[in-house]
Amino acid sequence: MPESSASANDKAHADIGIVCALHIEIAPFLERCERVRKYKGDSFVFRGGRYGDIKIAVVETGTGFARARRATQALIDAHTPKWILSAGFSGALDPKMKVGNIVVADVVCDVHGQELVQNSNMPANPDAGLFVGRILNTDEIVRTVEEKQRLAHEHGAIAVDMESLAVAQVAAETHTKYLAVRVISDDMSADLPPEVLSVLGATGTYRVGAAVGAVWKRPGAVKDLWKLREAAHLAADRLALFLDGVVAQLYEAEH
């Protein structure tokens, strides 16, 4: 291979790839990285940078299974990471969980009966806010406490999101090492506001027009959406702190 081609491939390669639905989920971690660059491809936003000596590549998928699958494949094709992390927000299915708690999957599954076992070898420490267990994927945002209780009972899961299984499947198909690390952004203390379904666009963007319309229809929505935003920022900060350790440990294990 010509030297110039090898050099180009080396620059494209990442040690760890991170797949997330929304920029807000990964923004605090990216602030810890240096030389972060952004580019777009196939309707997805990619970012690359360095966390110390570790080359990081991130793709923001938007919400949903199909987009997560396509984005994960695109990230692996472009950057050939040794590890893929599914990182981002999740809803609690265990009443002991609070906003900001971390969930590491030992199984990722969905409501249609698909599942993949993930050997994280990470011990749970609920007192410190670290839970290890089954993460369930649904086709839509799970908004109510009642629905969360039903899903927990039917699937034995402790947290729910919409992308982790899709990322795990592509990782398995491409023989890429995989870990799902999620943070609780909504616990079981209350329902999410109904407006969350319309305010969040399919690509993970915040739909300003929908938010304004929601407030016009229900003035109390502004308080609920603000609380949701505060919870999201807290969760993202906690996720970044946990990723600090995870990324370093995975890199050291490979080297």
Backbone angles phi, psi at 124, to 5 degrees: -70, 150
> Domains of the chain: which residue ranges?
3-254
Backbone angles phi, psi at 101, to 5 degrees: -70, 150
Find the helix or strand (DSSP H, E) in which 74 lies: helix 65-79
Model confidence at 9: pLDDT above 80: no
Amino acid making up residue 177: K
SS3 assignment, position 198 = helix
Q: How far is CA 219 from CA 32, 144, 174, 195, in A?
A: 37, 20, 48, 11
In the block, residue with structure tokens 């110039």:
4
Q: Chain-wide mean pLDDT for the chain?
A: 87
Query: What integer pLDDT is reported at residue 221 of this predicted model?
Result: 57
Task: For the beta carbon of residue 38, count every other beta carbon within 10 angstroms.
Answer: 13
Q: What is the pLDDT of residues 42-99, one digit of tens each?
A: 889 999 999 999 999 999 998 889 999 999 999 999 999 999 999 999 999 999 999 9
pTM of the model: 0.88
pLDDT higher for 181 or 6?
181
pLDDT higher for 192 or 220?
192
Query: What integer pLDDT is reported at residue 197 of this predicted model?
Result: 52
Q: How far is CA 113 from CA 91, 166, 190, 197, in A?
A: 19, 13, 28, 25
Q: What is the pLDDT of residues 183-193, one digit of tens each?
A: 999 999 998 88
Per-residue pLDDT, averaged over 4-9, amounts to 41
Q: What is the pLDDT of residues 134-169, one digit of tens each?
A: 999 999 889 899 999 999 999 999 999 999 999 999
Model confidence at 224: pLDDT above 90: no
| Cα separation, 5 vs 248, whole angstroms | 29
CATH code of the domain occupying 3-254:
3.40.50.1580
SS3 assignment, position 36 = strand
Query: What integer pLDDT is reported at residue 118 of this predicted model?
Result: 86
Lowest mean pLDDT among 1-10, 109-118, 213-222: 1-10
Region label for 72, one of left (φ > 0), alpha (ψ between -120 and 50) or beta (otherwise): alpha
Backbone angles phi, psi at 172, to 5 degrees: -65, -40
| Cα separation, 69 vs 86, whole angstroms | 11
pLDDT higher for 6 or 23?
23
Per-residue pLDDT, averaged over 201-216, amounts to 43
Backbone angles phi, psi at 213, to 5 degrees: -65, -40
pLDDT higher for 205 or 39?
39
Tell me the β-bridge partners of 178.
Answer: 84
| Cα separation, 61 vs 244, whole angstroms | 22
